Structure 1
Amino acid sequence: MAGQAGRVDGPHPVVVIGAGPVGLAAAAHLHERGLPFTVLEAGPSAGAAVAEWGHVRLFSPWRYNIDHAARRLLEAAGWAAPDPETLPTGADLVEAYLRPLATLPQLAPHVRYDAPVTAIGRVGVDRVTTAGRENTPFVVRLATGQDVLASAVIDASGTWRTPNVLGATGLPAHGETDPQTAMLIEGALPDVLGADRDRFAGRHTVVVGAGHSAANTLLALAELAEQEPGTTITWGTRGGSIDRALGGGDADALPGRGALGTGIKLLVDSGRVQLVTGFAVHTVAAAGRHAELTAADGRILTADRIIAATGFRPDHTIAAELRLDLDPVLGCTRTLAPLIDPNEHSCGTVRPHGVDELTQPESGYFAVGMKSYGRAPTFLMATGYEQVRSITAAFAGDWTAAHDVQLDLPETGVCSATRGYAAMLDDAAARYGLAPDTPGQLISAALRHLPLAGTVAAATRAAAAELGLDPDVALQLAALAGDQFDTVDQDPAGDGRPRAELGLVTVSSGGGCCG
C-alpha cells in the first residue's frame, strides 16, 4: 500500500467494519472497483443497529438514502426501488434496502455476522514503530480472538452503541452506571408507542436532552398519554432556556434546531409536558422502583423511567494502536471539523468531502459515516455514501474520481423536518382512526381561529370543537404539525403584534434529520 491514502494491493482484503447503510455502500463500491473486501458486522444481520430504531421515520426521502453503487447492483438483480419521494422508517430501510443488498451474491459471501471487532493494529508493530509501517498489513481482532488481516480498514461502525451520558460534565452522573439505577434508564428513541409501550404507559417519564431525539420521544410520549391514563412527562434540559432547542428563526445558525419548535412549545404551553430548565444532572439513584435525578443545584426529579436523549459520541478504543490525529472538540479528523461544526452548519450546509478530509496519519485507515463526524449531529447517509465512494476510488488508484467529491443536499427535501413530521402526522392520524384529510382540516381551521384565539393551543381547541374532535387528540396532532403554523404571516392577529408576543415560535426549513 503506497501513499498517504494508498492504493491497496497485495493478498489481503479491505476490511469494512459494520454492515449498516454506509458499510454496505462501501462494500458495493469495492465490488465495482474489483477490490477484495470483507465486511464484519457485530450484529446478527445487516442493519442490526438501524433495526433498533426501526419505528422512527427518517426526515429524508428514499432518493437520498440509497447509494448509487448499491442501486446499480440491486437493479441489475431485478430489485424495484421504493417511491423516491416516500420517507421510510428505519424498519423500511432495513427490509426494503439493506437486507436485499446484503444478500446479493456479489456481497453475501463477504459479509460476516456476529463478528464484533475489539481492536485494530498492524502486524508485528505497535503504534510507536515507524519503519515499514505503511507496507505492513492491518490486523483486525474479533471478540472471538481471531485475527483478520487487511490491506486497509474502513470503520463504519457508527456511534449507536456509545451514547452520551446523563451527567452534565460529560462524565457519567454519580450512580448512573450502578446496575440497579441503570435498569431505570432508557437509551435514545425507545419505541414508546410499540414494543416498549408497557414500560411507559401509566408511568412518569423524565426525558433528558434538547435535541431531535428528545423531541421525537416527547411527541410520542404525549400521544401515549392520550391513550393511557396516568402517563405523565417531564422534560429536563441542561440549559437555562429552551430557546435554542425551539429555534431562533433566521438568527439561528443551525436551522435544524428550530425544526420542531412550535410543536414542542405547544406541548409545554398546554401543560402536557412539564418543562424543567437548567437541570444539570449530577446524581442518579434508584429509590425502590423509582429513579431520582439530582441536579448540581440540588433540585430533584423523581420518575418511573428516565430517557437519556443526550446524543452520541464516537468510540475510538478499537483504534488505540493506530496513529490518529483527532480534532480536540469533535473527535473527527482535524480537516473535517470546521466543515461540520454544529455551531456553524446544519446537515444541509455541510460541504462535500471525501478521502482528503478523512485521511489520518495511519495510512489506509478511515472512519466513515456517523463515526467520522465525532460528536457533530449533522450527519446524513448521503454524506457517508460520498465518503466511501471517494475512499474506494483512492484505493483503486483513481485519484481523479477520488477528488471529484459532489453532494446534492438541498436544505428542503433532505433536511426538512416539515416533510418528516408531515409523515409522522399521517401515522398519528391513522393510529387515532381518523380520516387521512383530518390533520389538514384541523390545521386549516386552527389557522382561521388563530387571529382571535391568540395562541396555537387556543386556536387548536377551537378548531377541534368545530370539527368534532377530541381536544387532546387535536393538540397532539397540532404538536406534530407544529411548524406548519409558520405559514401564518408575521402579524397573525392583525394588531401589529409580532408572532413572538403571541407565543408562537418561528421555525426554519432545514435540518431535522441529523441528530
Structure 2
Amino acid sequence: MTLLDLTPRAADADRLSTLPVAIIGAGPIGLAAAANLVERGIDFIVFEAGAEVAASVRSWGHTRLFSPWKHLVDPASRRLLEEQGWELPDPERAPSGTELVEKYVAPLAEVDEIASRVRLGVEVIGVTREGMDRTRTRSRAATPFAVRIRTADGQVEDVPARAVIDASGTYLSPNSLSSSGLELLGMAEIADAVTTALPDVLGRDRATFAGRHTTVVGAGHSAANTLLALAELARQEPGTTVTWLIRNAKAVRVSSSADDELADRARLGSRVDKAVADGRIAVLDGFEIIRGRRTPAGVELVGHRHGEVVAHATEVVVNATGFRPNLDILREIRLDLDEIVEAPRRLAPLIDPNVHSCGTVEPHGFRELAHPEQGFFVVGMKSYGRAPTFLLATGYEQVRSVTAWLAGDTASASNVELVLPATGVCSTDAGNGGGCC
C-alpha cells in the first residue's frame, strides 16, 4: 500500500480554500468540530439528518451518562459559550442525555458563528470527489469533495467541500440480533415487536413494556440500563417480566473494577447482578439467535443453546447488541479500515475492546484517523467502528487535532494530549453492546 502523504499541499489550499469543510452530524462531536473550525477561521457547513441538533442523543435522553460534566465539554466549545455568558454545570455531576443537550449542545448550536452554518433535516446520502468515483487517481487530492444530500422535502443535490469530517455516529446503525451479523431471518415478521437500544421504559415508552414479557438482547451497558429500568417497571406494574438473553456463557460484561473513576458505571454491574440474584431478571445465556418468528402470543427467538435448537417465547425484544458504522455513504471514498472492528487501521490497535477500556485508549489525532482519501476523516463514535470503548473527551481531542491539520498547523495537530478518567472494563465483546460517554 502506498504511504499516505499527511502534509497539506499548497496546490490543494489554493484551489479549495474558498470552499467550506463539510461536517456530517450535529451531535456533540460534530459541533465540537465546528467550534474548533470557528477558532481557526475556517468556513464550514454542518448537515444534520434530524429535525434538531443532537437528534440521536435526544433519543436516549432519559439515560444518565457515566462521565461527569468536567469530561463532557469540548474546550473550544466552552470558550465560545463562555463568551456568551455560559457557565459549566456542576463539574462532578453526571448529566442525563437530555441535560447534556439542553445545557450544552443546544446552546452551542445557537452561537451565531455555528447556527448560521447548520442545516437541519438534511441527510447525507453519499460522499465522493466531484466527477470522480473511487477508482480515479489523477488530481484527486486537488479535486473538491461532493457531498450528496437529501433535504426533508426530498430534493437531492451535491454540495462541494474542501474537506469532510464524518461525525454521524452509529446510533442509527444497530448490530443485528442474529449472531451471524447478518439481518435476522424473519426480522420483517417480528419487526413491530423489536425496539432499539435504550428505550424510555419508565417514561415515553412505558406502555410498550408494562404488563408484558420483554427480552433484552446484549451484554453491554446499554442492555444493563434497560434491564434495571424494566426491573423497576416490574415492581410497579403487575405482569411485567424481564429476560436477559446473551450469547456468552456468563453475564459479566458490564462489571467494572472498584477503582473505576466513573462511579455510576462502577455500580451498574453490581446493581444488575443483584437484580438477577433477587429473581427480578431471568438470564438466558449461551444463546446464539438464528431466527425470529411470530406466534399467537407474541414472538419467538430461535437459536442454538448448549448444542440444541431452542425457542424462546417473549412479547417484546430490545436490541441492545451494540452498533456498527454506516459505511454505505462512503462507497466512493478511499478508506483504510481494520478488517475486524471497521475503525481506521492505525486507530484500531489503540481501541481494541479485547485489550482496552474507555480510559486506557491512548491519545490519538489526525494521523491515526487519516485515510488514503486526503482531507476526509471519520471522528467520534463512528471512528471506533464496532468497538464500544468511546468517550466524548476522546472525540473532542480527535476533532481538535483534525481541524488543526486542516488549518495547516501540523505541530498542533501532532501534539495530542488526553486526560481520561481511570476506568474498569467497558465491554470485552464488541458485538454485544456497551459503550461509554
TM-score by length of structure 1 reads: 0.77
Conserved? CA contact 1:186–1:308, under 8 Å: yes
**Cα displacement string for residues 222-268 of structure 1 (whole angstroms, at most 9, x for unaligned residues):** 01111111100011111122244546889x9xx99976332222111
Does residue 62 of structure 2 align to residue 29 of structure 1? Answer: no
Provide the residue aligned with 1:270 in structure 2.
Answer: 278
Q: What secondary structure is seen at the aligned counterpart in 1 of 2:325?
A: coil
Provide the residue aligned with 1:206 in structure 2.
Answer: 215
**Cα displacement string for residues 125-168 of structure 1 (whole angstroms, at most 9, x for unaligned residues):** 11111110000000000123111000000000000000001001
Provide the residue aligned with 1:242 in structure 2.
Answer: 251
Provide the residue aligned with 1:291 in structure 2.
Answer: 299
Structure 1 residues 278 and 112: alpha-carbon distance in aligned structure 2, compared to 1, 3 A threshold = same
Structure 1 residues 58 and 245: alpha-carbon distance in aligned structure 2, compared to 1, 3 A threshold = closer
Q: 1:5 and 1:269 mapped to 2: Cα distance?
A: 57
Provide the residue aligned with 1:514 in structure 2.
Answer: 436
Provide the residue aligned with 1:441 in structure 2.
Answer: none
Structure 1 residues 317 and 190: alpha-carbon distance in aligned structure 2, compared to 1, 3 A threshold = same
Provide the residue aligned with 2:431 in structure 1.
Answer: none
Provide the residue aligned with 2:325 in structure 1.
Answer: 314
Structure 1 residues 392 and 246: alpha-carbon distance in aligned structure 2, compared to 1, 3 A threshold = closer
CA RMSD in angstroms comes to 2.2
Matches within 5 A, 1:406-417: 406-411=417-422
Q: 2:361 aligned to 328, 347, 350, which one?
A: 350
Provide the residue aligned with 2:25 in structure 1.
Answer: 18
Q: 1:192 aligned to 184, 201, 206, which one?
A: 201
Greater share of residues in helix:
1
Q: 1:204 and 1:58 mapped to 2: Cα distance?
A: 27
Does residue 337 of structure 2 align to residue 359 of structure 1? Answer: no
Conserved? CA contact 1:244–1:257, under 8 Å: no
Q: What secondary structure is seen at the aligned counterpart in 2 of 1:370?
A: helix
User: What's the CA shift for 1:63?
Assistant: 1.0
Provide the residue aligned with 2:8 in structure 1.
Answer: 6
Conserved? CA contact 2:224–2:269, under 8 Å: no
**Cα displacement string for residues 417-454 of structure 1 (whole angstroms, at most 9, x for unaligned residues):** 9xxxxxxxxxxxxxxxxxxxxxxxxxxxxxxxxxxxxx
Q: 2:73 and 2:103 mapped to 1: Cα distance?
A: 11
Q: 2:21 and 2:218 mapped to 1: Cα distance?
A: 38
Matches within 5 A, 1:99-498: 99-143=106-150, 144-176=155-187, 178=188, 180-246=189-255, 260-288=268-296, 290-296=298-304, 297-411=308-422
In our comparison, the structure showing a higher alpha carbon Rg is 1
Q: 2:64 and 2:167 mapped to 1: Cα distance?
A: 22
Between Structure 1 and Structure 2, how many residues are aligned? 413
Q: 1:369 and 1:5 mapped to 2: Cα distance?
A: 23
Q: 2:95 and 2:226 mapped to 1: Cα distance?
A: 18
Conserved? CA contact 2:220–2:435, under 8 Å: no
Conserved? CA contact 1:5–1:355, under 8 Å: no
User: What's the CA shift for 1:60?
Assistant: 0.4
Q: 1:327 and 1:19 mapped to 2: Cα distance?
A: 26
1:270 maps to a residue whose letter is D
Q: What secondary structure is seen at the aligned counterpart in 1 of 2:122?
A: coil
Specify every segment of 5 or more residues in structure 1 that has no aligned partner in the other structure, as ranges. Answer: 418-511
Does residue 88 of structure 2 align to residue 77 of structure 1? Answer: no
Structure 1 residues 372 and 97: alpha-carbon distance in aligned structure 2, compared to 1, 3 A threshold = same
User: What's the CA shift for 1:78?
Assistant: 1.2
Q: 1:108 and 1:126 mapped to 2: Cα distance?
A: 32
TM-score by length of structure 2 reads: 0.90
Structure 1 residues 36 and 248: alpha-carbon distance in aligned structure 2, compared to 1, 3 A threshold = closer
**Cα displacement string for residues 250-293 of structure 1 (whole angstroms, at most 9, x for unaligned residues):** 9x9xx999763322221112111111111111110122351111
